């Protein structure tokens, strides 16, 4: 499987099996230094979930984030769902 497809596969898997949103919201805010957005992002995630349901929430949530937060969320998904031995930092894939 090409690296690009593996990244997509991992993120889709994460999107359907994400942990408690509190975990990844805290992670992405801390990783980007945007801790002031935690409450805002919790509210955004919950509203999207209420509007679109569990199967669509991650896609809608992802596109609502700025690039730094998107990259941090992909990094989180890689750390949680990457196969053993696979690179687990998004920064390692930026050159694709």
For 76, other C-beta atoms within 10 Å of its C-beta total 21
> How high is the mean pLDDT of the chain?
87
**Whole-angstrom distance, CA of residue 15 vs CA of residue 74:** 10
pLDDT tens digits for range 31-64: 999 999 999 999 999 999 999 998 889 999 999 9
* Residue 87 Cα distances to 11, 21, 55, 84, angstroms: 14, 23, 27, 9
Average pLDDT over residues 5-9: 82
Q: What are phi and psi of 50, to 5 degrees?
A: -65, -40
The number of folded domains in the chain is 1
State the number of CA atoms in the 13 A half-sphere of 21 facing the CB.
Answer: 19
The domain in which residue 76 lies consists of 3-93
pLDDT band at 85 (very low <50, low <70, confident <90, very high): low
């Amino acid at each position: 499987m090409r690296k690009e497809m593996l990244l997509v596969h991992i993120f889709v898997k994460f999107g359907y099996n994400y942990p408690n949103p509190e975990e990844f919201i805290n992670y992405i805010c801390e990783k980007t230094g945007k801790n002031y957005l935690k409450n805002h992002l919790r509210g955004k995630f919950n509203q999207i979930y209420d509007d679109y349901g569990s199967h669509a929430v991650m896609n809608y949530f992802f596109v609502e984030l700025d690039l730094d937060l998107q990259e941090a969320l992909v990094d989180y998904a890689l750390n949680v769902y990457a196969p053993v031995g696979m690179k687990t930092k998004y920064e390692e894939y930026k050159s694709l």
